[in-house]
């Protein structure tokens, strides 16, 4: 065998959402903070993201995480998150996958029945409590960075769709959130094509008409991701959502670019953003469980634990709980004669 690069990774899913975790083959990268490390990686090592997420090693909804040494003395590990078109500062499903990989592979010691740890992320410190039994992480609960609403019931003009009422909120990423009912959607898997098309159009229009910047980090702009919200299918859930992750840049003159991939989980950062909007509207209080259903019928449970502020915004500190399962451990290699070293995309599913 003659490989120029080998990467070891653990593959997992968190309530359906794929979350690959790189555990070997990539050394530390420069940066005083995890956000700086993320930016350095994006500028100098983006070929790894492309290789791990695009075909033939990846697929449209795939996510990838890179475990790194923490930059903070109060953290046990650090990680950065990679998606198809961006490096999000935070992700709930990827946090759950990363914690599960760290503990179930022994990279960090597991303590039963509960393991407490801190993670260094580009969005800030994330405190984690992992419930463990018989060597398995049965549930991960983490305290996310504060979430806040920027726009509530704002109107955006979306070509072909008309006037759409949206909320824009931060939950670790900036989300635009719209109700699914006006589009006749039940948020079921068979509606995937319509959900992604409509979501991509709403997101593009909101980026143009309601751009937002994080008050504590001007390099974080949005919204970059869209969520459609509706009534739950399960009697034990409060709301249902479908989150569309962009797989390309939308061009209004080219309808074929209205594409995206559905988050298979109930979306952790999206759940936090939704809870922030509900709190701002007086529809969700502190210390109340919020069970959020995803498109597969799986559940993340969120809770708002206290009120705080982020710059000029009234904010809330959320926790989120969910479970991940390891599906495989693999070594991904690069043959020097491979004609697609950074993978490829084809328009049938991308």
The residues carrying an active-site annotation are 91
Residue 68: which of 53, 47, 82 has the closest Cα?
A: 82
Distance of CA 114 to the CA centre of its chain: 25
- CA–CA gap between residue 300 and residue 170 (Å, rounded): 17
Which residues does 328 contact at the CB level (< 8 Å), separation at least 6? 10, 11
CA–CA gap between residue 18 and residue 22 (Å, rounded)? 13
And the tokens for 148?
A: 């806040």
Return the axis-axis angle of helices 34-44 and 46-53, rounded to nearest 10°.
80
CA pair distance 211, 280, nearest whole angstrom: 20
Report the C-alpha gap between 72 and 257 in whole angstroms.
41
| Token digits of residue 49 | 């993201």
Q: How far are the Cα atoms of 115, 226, 238, 268, 302 from residue 299, in angstroms, in the given order?
A: 22, 19, 10, 10, 10
What tokens were used for 253? 């003159």
Choose among 13, 172, 145, 203: nearest CA to 91. 172
Residue 44, Cβ neighbours under 10 Å: how many? 11
Greatest Cα-to-Cα distance within the chain, rounded to the nearest angstrom: 61
Query: Which residues pair with residue 161 across a beta bridge?
Result: none
């Amino acid at each position: 065998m003659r490989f120029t690069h080998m990467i070891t990774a653990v593959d997992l899913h968190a309530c359906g959402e794929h979350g690959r975790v790189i555990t070997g083959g990539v050394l530390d990268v420069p940066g005083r903070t995890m956000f700086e490390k993320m930016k350095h990686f994006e500028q100098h090592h983006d070929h790894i993201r492309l290789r791990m997420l695009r075909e033939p090693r990846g697929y449209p909804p795939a996510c990838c995480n890179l475990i790194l040494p923490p930059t903070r003395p109060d953290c046990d590990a650090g990680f950065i998150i990679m998606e198809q078109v961006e490096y999000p500062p935070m992700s709930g499903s990827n946090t759950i996958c990363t914690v599960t990989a760290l503990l179930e592979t022994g990279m960090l010691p597991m303590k039963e029945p509960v393991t407490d740890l801190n993670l260094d992320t580009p969005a800030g410190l994330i405190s984690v409590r992992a419930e463990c039994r018989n060597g398995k992480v049965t549930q991960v609960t983490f305290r996310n960075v504060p979430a806040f609403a920027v726009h509530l019931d704002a109107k955006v003009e979306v070509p072909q769709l008309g006037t759409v009422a949206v909320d824009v909120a931060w939950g670790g990423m900036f989300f635009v959130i719209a109700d699914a009912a006006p589009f006749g959607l039940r948020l079921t898997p068979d509606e995937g094509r319509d959900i992604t098309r409509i979501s991509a159009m709403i997101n593009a229009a909101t980026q143009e008409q309601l751009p937002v910047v994080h008050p504590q980090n001007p390099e974080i702009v949005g919204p970059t991701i869209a969520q459609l919200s509706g009534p739950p299918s399960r009697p034990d859930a409060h709301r249902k959502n479908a989150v569309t992750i962009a797989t390309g840049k939308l061009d209004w003159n080219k309808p074929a670019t209205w594409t995206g991939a559905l988050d298979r989980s109930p979306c952790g950062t999206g759940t936090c953003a939704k809870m922030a909007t509900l709190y701002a509207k007086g529809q969700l209080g502190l210390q109340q469980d919020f069970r959020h259903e995803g498109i597969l019928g799986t559940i993340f449970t969120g809770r708002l634990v206290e009120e705080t502020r982020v710059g000029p915004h009234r904010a809330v500190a959320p926790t989120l709980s969910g479970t991940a399962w390891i599906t495989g451990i693999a070594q991904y290699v690069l043959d020097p004669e491979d004609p697609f070293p950074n993978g490829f995309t084809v328009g049938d599913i991308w």
